[in-house]
Amino acid sequence: MTEKLDELKQLVVTGDREKKAPDMVRELLDEGEKVDKILNDALIPAMELAGQRFEEKEFFVPELIIAARAMDRSIEVIRPLLEKSGISKRGTLVLGTVKGDQHDIGKNLAKMMFKGAGFEVIDLGHDVSVEKFVDAVMENSADVVGMSALLTTTMIQMGDVVKRLDEVGWRDKTIVIIGGAPVSREYADKIGADIYAATAPGGVELVKERLKAS
């Protein structure tokens, strides 16, 4: 069984060209493998490995997305079981591109990576207002809020979300992570965000560390 879990992991990392990964998940379930083992010993490590390869510049954006897509297809098979068995998700992330900005490729990449790491992702899309971010954080009791901006004219909205979260008493309950071409570690510090993510996989790791520490 462990061999099969390894094989599944490899299929996801390499992008599962023949779409065998969901079938292998079904096979493992039929053979009595526990759903948490499939998730924690094959699927999540597969995405961690893909993310690591991306950080080490062995994988690039296409390879990473192909792995995330294979992960997503595999997760779909076990989703009903995960929900039934009450296996806890790693956390809830509210995600969007800020108001005035329609760039969503980076945001979508972050969504795939966080989903692949076992987070529930509430995707608000692009052109998301401050109020919409804050309302979604409160409604979903989000552990993390992720904001993306590609323009120097729109990134200021990120600071407004941080301020508004503070005003409604949610700042301390939520980790704020930002990303996008014009933002930086310095900018995150300036607006009071917790994490600046230069890459989507890097952002996932930083959030995981922060959640572990809290």
Residues that bind other proteins (CB under 8 A): 17, 57, 60-63, 65-66, 68-69, 100-103, 105, 108-109, 112, 151-154, 181-182
Is 82 or 151 the residue whose CB approaches other proteins more closely? Answer: 151
The answer to whether residues 120 and 87 touch, using CB atoms and an 8 Å cutoff, is: no
Min separation Cβ 99 and other proteins, Å = 8
Q: With contact defined as beta carbons under 8 Å apart, do 15 and 66 qualify?
A: yes
Q: How far apart are CA 207 and CA 202, in angstroms?
A: 9
Compute the least distance from the CB of residue 164 to other proteins, in Å. 19
Closest approach of other proteins to the CB of residue 60, in Å: 4
Sequence-ordered alpha helix ranges (H) in the chain: 2-13, 21-30, 35-37, 44-55, 61-85, 105-116, 130-139, 156-167, 185-191, 200-213
Residue 93 amino acid letter: L
Quote the tokens at residue 175.
């980790």
Q: Which is nearer to other proteins, 85 or 153 (CB)?
A: 153
Nearer CB in complex with other proteins: 85/152: 152
The residue among 9 and 103 lying less far from other proteins, judged by its C-beta, is 103
Minimum CB separation from other proteins for residue 12, in Å? Answer: 14
